[in-house]
A and B are shown apart, each in its own frame.
Chain A
Amino acid sequence: MTAIIHASDITKVYGKSIAVDHISFDVQKGEIFGFLGPNGAGKTTTTRMLTGVIPPDSGTATVLGYDIRTEPVLAKQGFGVVPETSNAYTDLTAWQNLMLMGELYGLTHARAEQRSFELLGMVGLLERKDQKVQAYSKGMKQRLILAMALIHEPGLLFLDEPTSGLDVQSTQMILSLLRDLNKQGTTIFLTTHNMEEANRLCHRVGIIRAGKIVAIDAPEKLKMAIDRVYKIEVSFDREVPGDAITGLAGVTGATRTGDKWQIMTENRDATIRSLVTFSQQHYAVIVTLNTLAPSLDDAFLRLTQEAQL
């Protein structure tokens, strides 16, 4: 695996406050890396350092093999950025914004026109390409920003809260585009608050709290790492004896809520098997059976709270 982003001990201090505190991590080629953290944790500051918008106070970061401090232009030529706040020129049309980006990334006029046409079609803005951006909705602006970041076909894309505050249609369109881009080989560095989004999209996530990285792993591994006791929710078509359930193999506890039983176990496989046997023995049909794994939300809360303590 090749590290597309290599951050080593990077730090940013604003006055007396340490926004990012000696963090190090790698992002591998072809992966979608989620960067999660509560408000003010240092996500945007880290993204801005990695994209060369602000310099780190200490530490080094290489992006696409170039040191972002000493060779910023070469690094920036290879990636695109979708910032948290839409920053297209509102006095220009979508077409003019894209053509400007084409020129800033050194595309020929013909290539910039071709890419602008393709991208506006891809984000569903072709019909409104000659309208000034000030008349666009938030979702349309965000889709335009994504198109602007893709004008030069970058191998790496930074996105800072790309779906924050967007309607469902725009959110789904952007997430679907990101998946497609990743399938085509684009590496994605995604900052988000949205755990579900990170869970569904990211190959690995890094969790930052108070400027420090508290965990980096695949979402499923993070979820599993935080809890060794699992919950299983089961309901039957008739009354079953509670004592019998608590006595099943692997079950450490069972509580009844409504028509369901919530069962605690350290061994999900053994418990599910014994539940099936139990239902046959008591002539009860299993109506629902759900394994309640810890969510990424749980992992996030646990990890960020632990770091706070």
Chain B
Amino acid sequence: MNPAGFFEQVKRAWAIAKKDIRIYYFKGPVLIFGVFMPVFLFLAFLMGGRQLPLSFLISGLVGMSLFFTATAVSPAIFPWEGSAKTLERLASCPVTVEAIVFGDMIASTLFGIGITIITVIIGLALGLSLIHGVMLFATILIAACCFSAIGMLLAVPPTNVPSNIMMLSSLIKFPLVFISGIFIPLEQMPPWGLALAVFSPLTYFTDLVRYTFTDTHFFPVITDIAALTVFTVVFTIGTMYLHKRTMPQRM
């Protein structure tokens, strides 16, 4: 066994993910938030009086469910563990910073996927038909990884005060939702809005979800997939690199 080897570190990242799920995600309030959020999103949009068809709404609702759940807890894990000194425990174990970050990403990816599936099920129960099922689940998987990496990027500032990070997180997450074609279809966006939208991974995800339910899309499907994949890779490498630099400042 080479403890520093790739597969050994992935195994240890999985141990960290299981710990996260047990400690941070399998909590009553977190699960209730996760289940109720998609339900209330549907209610708010269906009863909002905007007369938007459910087939349009579903892409935004799935997008918001995944984006908010995959980034809900992960930004606060490092500050929590930093203040409880458990991060020091992890840092003194034979795991790399990359493995710690990857473990946290796995946990938030799984949580995001689980809750988003509830949203999809509600949509199907309301009469929507899924045209490209395999594509939807592949898209959800890639986007969940991407949004988890964003969640971990939000945790990069080396503070051990969770509220500071959560405030920063809200400041970044909400504007991203408004420029990603969730409330205004990409076709109806002004040029400056569209110019901003291309920089949001959520744009490509909602476009892909729309494709899987309605067979319509704004960008070519391959562009959506490629953009989402590039964002995932860049954010994952970026968050691992930055956490490696800021980790000692948390101790």
Contacts and interface: CB of A to CB of B under 8 A. Distances in A.
A72 B3 CA distance: 10
A122 interface: no
Given A52-B92, A106-B1, A106-B94, A91 B23 contact: yes
B3 A87 contact: no
Given A89-B19, A89-B23, A106 B92 contact: no
Interface string A103-136: 1111000000000000000000000000000000
Contact of A52 (B12, B18, B85, B91): B91
Interface string A94-105: 001000110111
Contacts of B92: 51-53, 76, 81, 83
Interface string B83-117: 01110111111111000000000000000000000
Given A52-B92, A53-B91, A96-B22, A106 B248 contact: no
Interface string A39-57: 0000000001001111100
Nearest to A107: B1
A53 B251 contact: yes
Nearest to B100: A104
Interface residues of A, number: 30
Contact of A71 (B4, B11, B22): B4
A105 B94 contact: yes
Given A74-B3, A104-B12, A83 B88 contact: yes
Contacts of A89: 19, 23, 86
Contacts of B90: 104
Contact of B15 (A83, A103, A148): A103
B215 interface: no
Contacts of A51: 92
A9 B250 CA distance: 24
Interface of B: 1, 3-4, 8-9, 11-12, 14-16, 18-19, 22-23, 84-86, 88-96, 248, 251
A-B complex: 5 closest residue pairs judged by Cβ atoms: A103-B15, A73-B4, A76-B94, A87-B85, A77-B94
